[in-house]
Structure 1
Amino acid sequence: MTTGESTKRYETPNHPYQEERIAEESELLGRYGLKNKEELWRAQSELRNYRREARRLIGDAQGDLAAAETAGAEFVESLQRVGILDETDDLSAVLSLDVTDVLERRLQTVAYRQGLANTTEQARQFIVHGHVTVDGARVTRPGYQVEVHEEDAVSFDETSPLADELHPERAEGQ
């Protein structure tokens, strides 16, 4: 591969026409305000990698969960830092994660849940247009994974017209 080429960061479904899967994907696209299915597939691939790593750690320890916990402490810690796992969860909890756990950590979803926007689509627009900051730094990627310690630092950019409480596009009560 030459410099500058990007690699695909997701896998497409094996069977393109499955009515049930398509309906489920469409529902998730609507609920999380995703632009296209590629964003959903990227989250699913990320989750698949987490599960694969958890299975590898458990397999390397030959089923000894205590040894796997010790070996995978850093891995579990990193998932707890980004908020995919709770502080009380362990390595076996990774295997029961759902794609919604990954989607809930996107900046777009966090901004919407905090009331910065009326809809997930509006949250996406505010982020892409540069109105939202995380810990004082402007972030224009709706798929940015918000860490737990950054969650309270998600706000409007002070130079943005949306920083004004009376702006007509601001969410009610925010």
Structure 2
Amino acid sequence: MALGSNTKRYETPNHPFQGERIAEEHSLVERYGLKNKEELWRAQSELRDYRREARDLLGQTQSEDDIATAGGEFLARLKRIGVLDEEDRLDAVLSLEVSDILERRLQTVAYRKGLANTTSQARQFIVHGHVTVDDARVRVPSYTVDVAEEDSIAFDETSPLADELHPERAEGQ
């Protein structure tokens, strides 16, 4: 993508004023501590792309062996980021939900790991540079955490939050 291009990385809903969809989106934004619905729509577009790729791969291939080889790299990527389990196959991609994508965000993983009391607090800690992944400071709450990186998420050692007695630290952490 060229510098300065303004290509949107998400699609907005086709029908903007559906009460049920709006309520569902609002609950997801609240539960995952997202900044706005744009972040949710970005995750939905990512999921849509995964499903599209899986459908294309399933449609191109004929036998079980063809499916295993054609979708190998695609499945390996989804397993690496933790969206799929190791034993899942290509057709499991079609049953994924947007919450599976949102669970792999750094913001959510840091909260689940106990670095923060809420997902919004986890977002603030990340944006303010208190959280590291593999000893590298990451300031992007939407960073997709690989399964291998999950254990290396911690507070930056130079951060005041690294002190266990800091008042903003999560209880028991």
**TM-score after normalising by structure 1:** 0.97
- Alignment RMSD, CA only? 1.1
Alignment match, 2:157: 158
Name the counterpart of 1:168: 167
Instruction: State whether structure 2 residue 53 is matched by structure 1 residue 53.
Output: yes
Query: How many residues are matched?
Result: 173
- 1:2 Cα deviation after fit: 6.2
Give CA-to-partner distance per residue, 1:51-90, whole Å, 9 cap, x none: 000000011114x343122110110000000000001101
1:33 maps to a residue whose letter is G
Q: After the TM superposition, which of the residue ranges 104-113 and 6-15 deviates more from structure 2?
A: 6-15
Q: Which runs of 4+ in 1 moved over 4 A?
A: none
Task: State the AA in 2 paired with 1:140.
Answer: R
> CA 1:72–1:135 in 2, change beyond 3 Å: closer, same or farther?
same
Alpha carbons of 1:42 and 1:171: their partners in 2 closer, same or farther (altered >3 Å)?
same
- Displacement after TM superposition at 1:6 (Å): 3.3
- Structure 1 match to 2:16: 16
AA aligned opposite 1:159: T
Equivalent in the alignment of 1:108: 107
For residues 132-154 of structure 1, the C-alpha deviation after alignment (integer angstroms, 9 at most, x for no partner) is 00010000000000000000000
Partner of 1:94: 93
Q: Relative to structure 1, is the Cα distance of residues 67 and 123 closer, same or farther in structure 2, using a 3 angstrom cutoff?
A: same
3-state SS, counterpart of residue 132 of structure 2:
strand
How far apart, CA to CA, are the structure 2 residues paired with 1:164 and 1:107? 21
Structure 1, unpaired ranges of 5+:
none
Q: 1:91 to 1:3 in 2, by over 3 A?
A: same
Q: How far apart, CA to CA, are the structure 2 residues paired with 1:129 and 1:56?
A: 41
Q: Is the 8 A contact 1:133 1:155 kept in 2?
A: yes
Which residue of 2 is the match for residue 84 of structure 1?
Answer: 83
Unaligned runs of 5+ in 2: none
- 1:129-144 paired onto structure 2 within 5 Å: 129-144=128-143
Counterpart residue type for residue 21 of structure 1: R
Query: 2:30 aligns to what?
Result: 30
Identity of aligned residues (%): 73
